Structure 1
Amino acid sequence: MKLSNTKLILLHPSLHRQSPIHSSLPRRLWLLLFPIFFTLAFTLTRLTTTTTSSSSSTAVAPARTALPPSVSAALLHYASIADAAAPNTTRPSTMTPNELAAISSALLRPGPLNVLIFGIAHETALFHALNHRGRTVVLDENEYAASKLEQQFEGIEAYDVLYTTRVSETRALLKEAIGPAKAHCRPVQNLLYSECRLALNGLPNHIYDVDWDVILIDGPHGYSPTSPGRMSAIFTAAVLAQSKKAGGKTDVFVHDFSREVERVGSEEFLCRENMVETVDGLAHFMVERNVKSGFDFCQRTKASSSSSSSSSPSSITKLPQSGL
C-alpha cells in the first residue's frame, strides 16, 4: 500500500506540473498573436484606404485643373510689368501685354494641352505656368539656355536645336519649297526622314509623335543675314499641325510677324485663310489637319495656285538683301 500510495503521490504531482505548462502555452501565443494581428489589420486598412482614395481621386478629379482666374490674371499682370521695365536694347523680342493676352487665351482653355515653343524668352516661364498640368516643350538654339531653363522650372522640357539655314538663304529656300523640289516639302510627311531643307529633322524623336495643341514661334534669332531665321520653325510647325494624327486644329502663333521673313513664311506655309487675328507684332493662325494628298499647304484653286506661283517669287524678291 505504501508503494502504491507512493506511486500515486509521485504520479499525481507530475500531472499537476504538466497541466500548468500546457495551459500556459496558448496564453503566450495569444500574447504574441494579438499585436501581430492588430499590426496586420492596421497595415491592410491603411493600404486599402490609400488605394481607394487614390483611385477615387483619379476617377473624380479632371485630367487638368485650370488655374484660378485670379492667379492667371496676376501672372499676366506681373509679366507685363516686367516686360515694360526691361530695356528694349536687351530685350528686343519682349511681348506686349496684348500679345501675352492673345497667347494666354489659347493656353487657358480646357486641357491638358501639348504646347511647343520655339525660342526661349522672358515670357517662357509664364506660358509654362499657364499651361497648368499640361506638357510644355521648348526648343532653342542655345544649349546652355535650354539646360538652365530645365533646372530653373520643374516640369518643363527644353532641347537645343541645330539650325542649318540662314536668313540670307530665304529666297533660295522658298523657291525650293514652291518650285520643282517641293515634292520633298509636302505639308503631310514624316519630318524625321524629310529631305526638305526647311524641315527640322534633328529634334528628339518623340516630338514628332505628339499632337500639339499650341505652337508658338518666337525663335530662333532672325535679325541679321547670318542668323538662322524662323523659316524652318514656321515650316516645321505647319507640317506638325497638318500631320496631326488626332485631327482638329492647332493654334500657331508667330511673333515678330511685321518682319518680312516671318510674314512671307507664314503666308506660304500657315496660309492667309487660316489667320485668325494679328495683335501688335503677333499673328495667330488656326491650322487644321490636312486629309488630302498634295504639295500645297494652303487651299487654292488651280487658277489661284498658278497666279500664286507666279507671284510668290516676286514677293520673295521684296526681301531685303541684308536680311532681318
Structure 2
Amino acid sequence: MTKSPQFQPEKKKLLVVAIAGLIAAALVISTLIRSAENSFFCSLASSKARDVAEYTTTPIQLRAILHYATSKIVPQQSLAEITVSFNVLKEISPCNFLVFGLGYDSLMWNSFNPRGTTLFLEEDPKWVQSVLKDAPTLNAHAVQYRTHLSEADALLSSYKKEPLCSPSKAFLRGNVGCKLALTGLPDEVYDQQWDIIMIDAPRGYFPRAPGRMAAIFSAAVMARRRRGSGVTHVYLHDVDRRVEKAFAEEFLCRKYLKDAVGRIWHFEIPPAANSTNADDRFC
C-alpha cells in the first residue's frame, strides 16, 4: 500500500488560512442571523407594544364609563344619532373636535377623542361651572352670542347685503360687521383647524334665546377656510326645528349632506378652494 504524499509547508499555510477564513465567515454569518432574529423579534415586540398602547383604555374613557354606569341621566342624542358621529370619530381620532354645547353627554364626546383636542362652547357661565365641578378635565368655555332667535328670519334675508358676511370675505375674529359671525370666541377656536364641528347649542326654542343661526354660519366659515386637504365634518342637531333646517340649507348645503339620522344631519364640507362656487354663494 502506497503512502499519501507529504504536504509541502506552503500548502499547509494555505490550508490554515482557508480554514481560518471559513471559521471567520461562519462566525460572521451566525452573528448576522442572530442579529436579524433579534431585530425581527424586537420589531414584533415593539409593534405589539404599540398595538397595546393604541387599544389600551385611557383615563378619560374610564372616567366616562364610571360616570354613565352610575348615573340615571342619559345623553341628549339617541343611540342612532350618536353612532353617526361616533363612526367618524373612531375613524379619524385623534382629531380636533369643536362642540357647541356643554351637557350630560360632554364626557362621552370627550372620551371618543381621547388623544385629540375636544373643546366645548357654552352660553351659560353658571352651567359651565356646574359641569366642570363633576368633570374638571373637560375643556369648556362660556361664550356670548349677539343674536336672538326672534331675529332669525331677518338675518337670513339680510345677511347678503353685508359684504363681510359674503362667502369670499367672511371671517370670524373681529368681524363686527356681520352679526352672524361669532366674534368673541377663545383664541383657540380661531387658531385651530377643526376636523369635526358639532352644533347642539345654544338654546333655540324661545324668542329671546340666542338660537343656532350664528353657530351654523360660523361653522360654515370655519369649514370653508380649512387649510390643506380633507373635509370638515359638521353635525347639526334638532333639524326638525324650522330655523335649524333653514340655516343648514343656506350655509351648510344640501349637496354636502352625508347622513340624516333622526334629528341630526351630518355634512362633509370641503375647503372653499375646492368648491365650484367659492365666491358668490355658500351653496
**Alignment partner of 1:133 is 2:115:** yes
Decide which structure has the larger Cα Rg and report it.
1
Contact 1:149 1:158 in 2 (8 A): no
CA shift digits 1:120-168 (9 cap, x unpaired): 1211110001111111100000112223434433543111111111111
**Match of residue 143 from structure 2:** 161
**For residue 124 of structure 2, what is the amino acid of its counterpart?**
N
**Deviation for aligned residue 1:81:** 11
CA shift in 2, pair 1:123/1:173, >3 Å = same
**Deviation for aligned residue 1:95:** 1.0
CA shift in 2, pair 1:275/1:180, >3 Å = same
For structure 1, which runs of at least 5 residues remain unmatched after alignment? 1-56, 299-324
* 3-state SS in 1 of match to 2:91: coil
Contact 1:214 1:250 in 2 (8 A): yes
**Alignment partner of 1:152 is 2:141:** no
Q: CA–CA distance in 2 between the matches of 1:176 and 1:271?
A: 18
**Match of residue 225 from structure 1:** 207
**Match of residue 174 from structure 2:** 193
**For residue 238 of structure 1, what is the amino acid of its counterpart?**
A
CA shift in 2, pair 1:240/1:81, >3 Å = farther
**For residue 269 of structure 1, what is the amino acid of its counterpart?**
F
**Match of residue 180 from structure 1:** 161
**Alignment partner of 1:278 is 2:260:** yes
**Deviation for aligned residue 1:94:** 1.9
Alignment of 1:56-205 (within 5 A): 65=54, 86=73, 94-177=76-159, 179-181=160-162, 183-187=163-167, 189-194=170-175, 195-205=177-187
**Alignment partner of 1:290 is 2:272:** yes
CA shift in 2, pair 1:172/1:289, >3 Å = same
CA shift in 2, pair 1:174/1:133, >3 Å = same
**Deviation for aligned residue 1:80:** 10
Alignment of 1:300-311 (within 5 A): none
* 3-state SS in 2 of match to 1:193: coil
Q: CA–CA distance in 1 between the matches of 2:211 and 2:174?
A: 22
CA shift in 2, pair 1:81/1:113, >3 Å = same
Q: CA–CA distance in 1 between the matches of 2:226 and 2:271?
A: 6
For structure 2, which runs of at least 5 residues remain unmatched after alignment? 1-45
TM-score, normalised to structure 2, is 0.72
Q: CA–CA distance in 2 between the matches of 1:171 and 1:249?
A: 29
TM-score, normalised to structure 1, is 0.63
Q: CA–CA distance in 1 between the matches of 2:142 and 2:266?
A: 25
- Provide the aligned length of Structure 1 versus Structure 2: 229
Identity over aligned pairs, percent: 33
CA shift digits 1:273-309 (9 cap, x unpaired): 00011111111111111016514111xxxxxxxxxxx
* 3-state SS in 2 of match to 1:228: coil
Q: CA–CA distance in 1 between the matches of 2:101 and 2:240?
A: 18
* Moved >4 Å (runs of 4+): 78-82
**Match of residue 54 from structure 1:** none
Contact 1:104 1:130 in 2 (8 A): yes
Contact 1:67 1:130 in 2 (8 A): no
Contact 2:103 2:131 in 1 (8 A): no
* 3-state SS in 2 of match to 1:107: helix
Q: CA–CA distance in 1 between the matches of 2:70 and 2:240?
A: 23
Q: CA–CA distance in 1 between the matches of 2:190 and 2:241?
A: 28
**Match of residue 37 from structure 1:** none
CA shift in 2, pair 1:129/1:285, >3 Å = same
Q: CA–CA distance in 2 between the matches of 1:214 and 1:94?
A: 19
Contact 2:171 2:181 in 1 (8 A): no
* 3-state SS in 2 of match to 1:109: helix
Q: CA–CA distance in 2 between the matches of 1:99 and 1:67?
A: 26
Q: Report the aligned-residue RMSD.
A: 3.1
Alignment of 1:14-93 (within 5 A): 65=54, 86=73
